[in-house]
Structure 1
Amino acid sequence: MKFLGMGVPELVIILVVVLLIFGPKNLPKLGSAIGKTVKGLRDGMNSKDEEPEVEEVVEEVVEEPKAAPKKKVVKKVVAASDDAATE
């Protein structure tokens, strides 16, 4: 009996290695996870015939108006002359 090109001895060796790696306590969890994965893949392959729902995403670009340049305020400082300061 051949499965994926492998005979019974090869499959037994693979199962023993998996048992050694994961342990007997985790094998049911591993089997359940593999089963769910295979079921999901089959459902995905079968839903290929259905047309998938497509959402159209529209992006609107809004440019903010440029801020008016700030006006510079220049203050004149008049230095007091030495003559006025001594009086």
Structure 2
Amino acid sequence: MIAGMGMPELMVILLVVLVLFGPKNLPKLGKTLGETVKNVREGMEEDDTPKAARAAPAQDPKVSEASSDSDAQ
């Protein structure tokens, strides 16, 4: 039983999907749905990482000043 639905309800839903999309489009629909679920899961995992780990370290201002001074000479 999925979300309070039994086998008869799932069969009706499957039949409606088959009629709406046709047998030729079902593999494409399944592939797209699978890729979407995968992308959502990956996005959720990325969201779990701390912001400090994701943020790039700031460049030291002294290093950038030194490089711009050497470029000017």
Q: Which has the larger radius of gyration?
A: 1
Query: Which residue of structure 2 aligns with residue 22 of structure 1?
Result: 21
**Quick one: distance in 2 between partners of 1:41 and 1:28?**
20
Q: Which structure carries more helix by proportion?
A: 2
Unpaired runs of at least 5, structure 2: 57-73
CA RMSD of aligned residues (A): 1.5
**Structure number with higher relative contact order (C-alpha < 8 Å, ≥ 6 residues apart):** 2
What is the identity percentage for the equivalent residue pairs of Structure 1 and Structure 2?
Answer: 55
The number of equivalent residue pairs is: 53
Cα drift, residue 49 of structure 1: 1.6
Runs of 4+ in 1 over 2 A off after TM superposition: 51-54
Query: Normalization by structure 1: what TM-score?
Result: 0.55
Cα deviation 1:7-50 (Å, max 9, x = unaligned): 11101100000000000000000000000011111111111122
